[in-house]
Structure 1
């Protein structure tokens, strides 16, 4: 069993892995770990604001690199303050080579969960060997390529759901009117989706999400002029749609159903909500869900045929929903993924040490450090500074520490 650990989760500035990082942090916290998040998105507007300077690339590039260096200094400051045993980075997290090298030198174990398609995002070639573990959502040939690039620790870790968030909802009549539809889709307007969905124009079909600019045929279906939809509202949309389309994205248009390998997060999230979905077949899908748990299609023609079939068979939709939800709760939660990742790190690099083993600290003081979210190596000054920022009644240990600080200041001139 993994002991309670101090874990720093480094989020990306933006992108699809951002909510996944938050789900990981919530799962780890629910598992009993002390979790701190480096909230990179808080700096995103400042980073993108650099483009407003209207500088040429030769001048803008160095500025952006300097900005990312400042972010890494902030990450390292948080590491020094929090003293994590483990740093988990999500895809496109702003960790640079120097910071990763410092983490390795300091004995802090690191992992990236690369929830991207390796054939589209190729930065893994540079950064994968710098992490202790590089978890991926695809198998060979990607894992073989990672080993050849110097990263032998690349476990397959498919995506998941957070059941307490991705859950069935009872919607109000007003919400049903706003979000409800026979057919629903939430996601970006990739080329294959635009072409595959056009024959559905004119039906009771609602499209939510961004990047649908210039789409004339489907324009009446696009909600809110293509505004981005937050995670909480997405749960309502999925629950309100009688059939959720789950067509994996592709930049190619010669084959609209790509028959790719990895399974997107939407598949697990919809299943966890007990919401019905039609998902295109993926090579890694059969080992995650059974045939009677998810309704799949292999072509556009089969997609249109199954839409009509399942709209007229609500009882069968309900059976698929029930079985898929049972599968997710049993095998595909973020808590289960995080436990698998922690177990893998321990298998490869040795057992995790509990904080009490890392430093010989009296239990009352260790408990105080944990509550203040400080590591066992925190300096006396750091403890005092953090204590003075707290409010409420002081415990005996807190009173003793502050008294000692006052004595030190008065009699030692500190």
Structure 2
């Protein structure tokens, strides 16, 4: 992994900022000094050392950088869709200072040498931190578990088979047992492959009206129910990558009350959009799991507000024109999201549905805690992975301006409020809004 603090980043003093940090419950006007790539001082009356850069935030919000838990990056094998370099540029523009990459590459990240390759590529080409998630089963086939200990030693930070569900309960139990012994986080996609076979969108009245085969929400809930029971049985740390419906949230809530080490995430698309946005077969809204009903979307938003949903992710899944400009049922699943995750999330804040602290906790503090990463907080000695945000800046999304190699965004032409002004990684500015 590239270390953006080498050579050492110059000292920087941020002044006149609204300092917001969910980890320390901080929300105050003040300044922050960065030296040697870490936070050296926080307060209201700071002095810049000789030669330091002074950044006047002019009342903008200074917060911990975002951590995206599970983005697809095309390397190796799908560089035409995305590269580590282009993904990191998009991430920086969206305020994301750390990307955790999915394991479903070609070849998959199921061996230490692939983890090492990703770390070296990130070190050479990335402008943000990049950590690989390793496969839970060899070849993503769901039959034989990977060498969890060796992959952890190589630098993997979590384990999951990307968008594939492990159908075998026996394999899942065995993998969870070994993961528990290494205190490894298991991050799984939850959709019963037989129940969703041939489905194109959320099963229901709207799919019927469009004449499209459906994917029932029960396919997700059944797998999550199985997985949380296995997590309780084995004592494994289990994370449901994408929860998309109220019934699944009920399962997660019961598991947490029982004391199981269970957490869950939701994508910004599922928190912001619903099945009706598919409209006249708009393939950029085709994602997996599919967009659900408005009732389910509202349940997700409430789950986020209540802290039941631990993590908000971009679910970044770039697809090229050839795989998206097809009949809806034939188009590939997936939407990009690194650059729009924060701005779309701020819609919920401006609507009064979620507090800013809660949103930032789910996008920064909580992912850092789950993965054991040092970021996610404005704290003395913490890495200076920071973002400066204008919470009120209005803008209209033009896909052509996005830095991702692919442009399959469901927010094409969306009116957004709030954008990243500056992104700092290990004390060095990697993005500044012109």
Q: Same fold by TM-score, threshold 0.5 exceeded? A: no
TM-score (norm 1): 0.31
Which is helix-richer, 1 or 2? 1
Which is strand-richer, 1 or 2? 2
**Max Rg structure:** 1
TM-score (norm 2): 0.30
Which of the pair has the greater relative contact order for Cα pairs under 8 Å at 6+ separation? Answer: 2
